[in-house]
Amino acid sequence: MSETSVDEVPGSGSSRTRRLSPAWRALLLIWTAGSIILCFNQQFTLRFFVGFTMLDTEYFWGLIAVLLPLAFILYPLKPGVHVDHVPIYDILLFLVSTALCGVFIATARESAAGGWEYNAPFVAEPWIVWSAVAMWALVLEALRRAGGWVLFFLMGTFSLFPLFAGVMPPPLHSPSVDLLDTASYHIFSRESVLGIPMRAFAELVIGFLVFGTALQYTGAGAFFINLAFALCGHYRGGAAKVAIFSSGLLGSMSGSVISNVLTTGTMTIPAMKKTGFKPSVAAAIEACASTGAVLAPPVMGATAFVMAEFLNVPYSDVALAAAVPAALYFFALFMQIDFNAGRNSMIGMPREEMPKLRDVFRDGWYFIFVIILLVVLLLVMKRENWAPWLATGLLLVLNQLFSDRRWGWNEVLVFLEGNGRVFVELVAILAGIGLLVGSFSLTGLTGTLTTELLYMAGDQPLLLMLMGALTSFILGMGMTITACYIFLAVLLAPSLINVGLDPLAVHMFIMYWGMVSFITPPVALAAFAAASVAKANPIETGLQAMKIGSIIYFVPFFFVMNPALVLQGTLADFVPHIVTAVIGVVLVCGGLQGYISRIGNLRRCGPLEWPVRAALIVGGLMFAAPGGGLMPLSSLQMTLAALAVSCPALAIAWIYSRRPQTA
């Protein structure tokens, strides 16, 4: 569920993290175990078995105390510098940040009772306020090390914004706030460092991170990949369909795009190349599948949990809403691969090389019960706080009873270290981007910008949506998806909601467009990571990924214009639109790949090939796009127009496919 930055792409050439000595590694393991115990105690209200209940702010600062200071130990001042030892200045930063967190834990009850975010004790205890200033600076430095310079400059600038708000031009103008008051708000309020991003991590994300890591270290990856090979490896383009199936299953639970590419991709990309896919196409398919997995229930990525906090709805509502768009996306990938394999006369992998379904289930049947438990807890019982912990517990018990990969002490330590590194990175990033939310909350800038954006767009919500898509894409190239989402959820989402669009659809729209940069050059992190595995040209892989995953550019507009696709309407609205959306996806994929089942290769259309393919793409988009609402045509008119464009193209393709081929 962690999000990977540019420096983590293979071949980057620089080491972002240190090689820890045994003593520092031991501390990382102990502190990670402490964070898991803290979270488990809080989620199940165990009260430490002695009757002591922590305030939420005490709990949040407790997690920060054991995780954020480790950012100064794990991440050197500059990549590649002091990677084999911890210099004295980083030890000092570790000790100071730990001590400051201890101060904020000790004063949390007094702070809550006295309203220190607005009324900190400047006169009686000035050191408290200066401690807040120091913590603000340390949070930004931890963010820079874990998230990079782009995030640091962006969040640093916005965290300072209240100081200069009074001299900014409209619509950025608001009364200025002095340094000490701003620092007090950032540290003592529940809207900044302890705001929505950190709350989502502390209450939900950490549990699912533990679950994802447990899956990784108990052999779930091998089980899902073997299951995919057994089910569809022998079909046309089977190796690519395996990549989609296995990456979708595993990635939807791990939530990390890059790690998914580098784990499942090492098995699926060579298999695709072996069955005839070009290296760049094989890498692009894996990149698209791994990107889509983070948009798919039941777990999705960290951003989905933050979204639930923003919307103040159960996470299960977000997961259900994501189901149909994710299904459309993966259906489009399957169709693209099937049509690509048909156009190039590919065959599936030999059955004798495929694992037997019976053998796969015999070796990993217990994973099915873990997933069932997770889904029931999430979607039926709506216990999203408990779900990952109980699912992890069941997984570990079943693994020890039935697996040949039973854990010993060494596996437990590796499991803790893997979790700890991800925890530290996410806490440093989420605490830092919380400063953005805090600045907008303190100055009231959100409402001002919403009004200004509405004025600029006039009565054109489509213009606002295009602005949001472009901004999401640009920000997604330079920061993590969660940071990009939070930025736009604060700035843009209220404007879109105020013009009458569905809140859940709007927030999902922003998340989807933030993910687009993973497969779109010039950044295309997922595509470039897959290219390194496939030994393919990175830019060519990125362009292929754009083509194969092209539906991701359109689906967000479809469900914003018709929220029935995110289950925010009636069944009567949903059924006809999902039918036309599926038809549209098939036609678009056929046009892009130049092949349609039951008709054949569109190359046989000769000089009419490209006009036919263009007509299929346009007609498919018209089928999939909802009518009415923001569209000038009704649903019936859109369907009739789509038929008028696509039927002649299909007729021409069918006629040419029946003509005898010349030598």
pLDDT tens digits for range 276-319: 788 999 899 999 988 888 888 876 767 788 888 888 888 888 88
- pLDDT at residue 130, as a whole number: 92
Q: Which H/E stretch holds residue 38?
A: helix 22-43
Which pair of tokens denotes residue 393?
A: 């517990």
What is the longest distance spanned by two Cα atoms in the chain?
A: 94
Region 420-443 average pLDDT:
88
Terminal CA-CA length for the chain: 54
- pLDDT at residue 618, as a whole number: 94
Average predicted confidence (pLDDT) for the chain? 84
Higher pLDDT, 454 or 371: 371
Tell me the pLDDT band of 120, cut-offs 50, 70 and 90. Answer: confident
Which pair of tokens denotes residue 209?
A: 């991170």
| CA of residue 552 relative to chain centroid, distance | 14
Percent of the chain with pLDDT over 90: 28
Higher pLDDT, 15 or 289: 289
Lowest mean pLDDT among 33-37, 254-258, 610-614: 254-258
Which among 148, 198, 179 is positioned nearest to 305, based on CA atoms? 198
Q: How far is CA 305 from CA 55, 327, 511, 565, in A?
A: 21, 20, 12, 20
Give yes or no for a contact between 609 and 602, defined as CB atoms under 8 angstroms apart.
yes
Q: How far is CA 393 from CA 14, 17, 208, 411, in A?
A: 37, 30, 12, 15
For residue 37, pLDDT beyond 90: yes
Give yes or no for a contact between 68 and 97, defined as CB atoms under 8 angstroms apart.
yes
For residue 373, pLDDT beyond 50: yes
For residue 146, pLDDT beyond 80: yes
Q: Is 111 exposed, middle or buried (0-12, 13-18, 19+ CB in 10 A)?
A: buried
Lowest mean pLDDT among 76-80, 87-91, 487-491, 602-606: 487-491
Q: Where are the domains of the chain?
A: 570-663
Tell me the pLDDT band of 203, cut-offs 50, 70 and 90. Answer: confident
Rounded distance, CA 2 to CA 483, Å?
12
Percent of the chain with pLDDT over 70: 91
Rounded distance, CA 28 to CA 26, Å?
5
For residue 28, pLDDT beyond 80: yes
- pLDDT at residue 6, as a whole number: 37
Which pair of tokens denotes residue 152?
A: 């640091």
Tell me the pLDDT band of 428, cut-offs 50, 70 and 90. Answer: very high
Tell me the pLDDT band of 15, cut-offs 50, 70 and 90. Answer: low
For residue 430, pLDDT beyond 90: no
Lowest mean pLDDT among 6-15, 239-248, 283-292: 6-15
Lowest mean pLDDT among 286-300, 434-448, 473-487, 521-535: 473-487
Higher pLDDT, 8 or 434: 434
- pLDDT at residue 446, as a whole number: 65
- pLDDT at residue 453, as a whole number: 63
C-alpha angle 143/177/68, rounded to 5°?
20
Region 104-133 average pLDDT:
85
Lowest mean pLDDT among 177-191, 354-368, 430-444, 481-495: 481-495
Q: Which H/E stretch holds residue 603?
A: none
Amino acid at 517: S
Q: How far is CA 565 from CA 472, 504, 561, in A?
A: 21, 11, 9
Region 339-345 average pLDDT:
85
Region 508-514 average pLDDT:
86
Which pair of tokens denotes residue 170?
A: 């409209």
Rounded distance, CA 66 to CA 37, Å?
11
Q: Which H/E stretch holds residue 600?
A: strand 600-601
For residue 86, pLDDT beyond 90: yes
Task: Determine the 3-state secondary structure of 65 from DSSP.
Answer: helix
For residue 478, pLDDT beyond 60: no
For residue 3, pLDDT beyond 60: no
Give yes or no for a contact between 381 and 304, defined as CB atoms under 8 angstroms apart.
no
Which residues are CB-neighbours of 145 under 8 A, at least 6 positions away?
Answer: 71, 72, 75, 76, 77, 428
Which residues are CB-neighbours of 17 under 8 A, at least 6 positions away?
Answer: 74, 75, 76, 83, 421
Which among 591, 607, 592 is positioned nearest to 650, based on CA atoms? 591
- pLDDT at residue 476, as a whole number: 65
- The length of the chain is 663
Strands 600-601 and 595-596: antiparallel
Q: How far is CA 247 from CA 7, 258, 334, in A?
A: 23, 11, 13
- pLDDT at residue 482, as a whole number: 76
Q: Which of 33-37, 277-281, 452-456 has the highest mean predicted lDDT (pLDDT)?
A: 33-37
Our CA dihedral for 416, 418, 424, 429, rounded to 10 degrees, sits at: -150
Q: Which of 462-466, 481-485, 534-538 has the highest mean predicted lDDT (pLDDT)?
A: 534-538
Q: Structure pTM?
A: 0.73
The beta strands (E) that lie in 187-326 are given as: none
Rounded distance, CA 326 to CA 502, Å?
18
Rounded distance, CA 98 to CA 156, Å?
21
Region 160-172 average pLDDT:
85
Cis, peptide link before residue 171, omega less than 30° from 0: yes
Our CA dihedral for 461, 463, 469, 475, rounded to 10 degrees, sits at: -110
Region 438-452 average pLDDT:
75
Lowest mean pLDDT among 180-194, 250-264, 477-491: 250-264
| Packed helices 56-67 and 88-106: angle between N→C axes, nearest 10 degrees | 170
